[in-house]
Amino acid sequence: MEYTVEQLKSIVDEACSAAKVAATKYFNEKLGGNDRYACGFAWVSIYEVKGNTRLGRNLKKVGVKQAYDKSFQIWNPSGHHCQNIDTKEAGAVAAAEVFRKYGFTSYAGGRLD
């Protein structure tokens, strides 16, 4: 699978938009717009892409960072400004689904703070 920088930018934008919609929906419907319960962090990880390949370099060009485990990650892809981990994970799951749609091996991750 090969994607240009422009195509990857579009995929990342689509994933972050889906994440924002999912996180906002969860926050409003499940939490009633109140930032409560457990706080934490969430991210989406892309695996099986080497950083020194064209695809890896292009991911870096569109702002996707390579993590210590060599996966590519976007932290808080929804950009939601709450502390609730469930809200942030809802966004990360939605972003992972978009990346999988385009053939990437992608999963949501999260941790309590």
Q: Is 1 exposed, middle or buried (0-12, 13-18, 19+ CB in 10 A)?
A: exposed
Q: Is 94 exposed, middle or buried (0-12, 13-18, 19+ CB in 10 A)?
A: buried
pLDDT tens sequence for the chain (113 residues): 899 999 999 999 999 999 999 999 999 999 999 998 999 999 999 999 999 999 999 999 999 999 999 999 999 999 999 999 999 999 999 999 999 999 999 999 999 99
How would you write 76-87 as a 3-class SS string? CCCCCCCCEHHH
pTM: 0.96
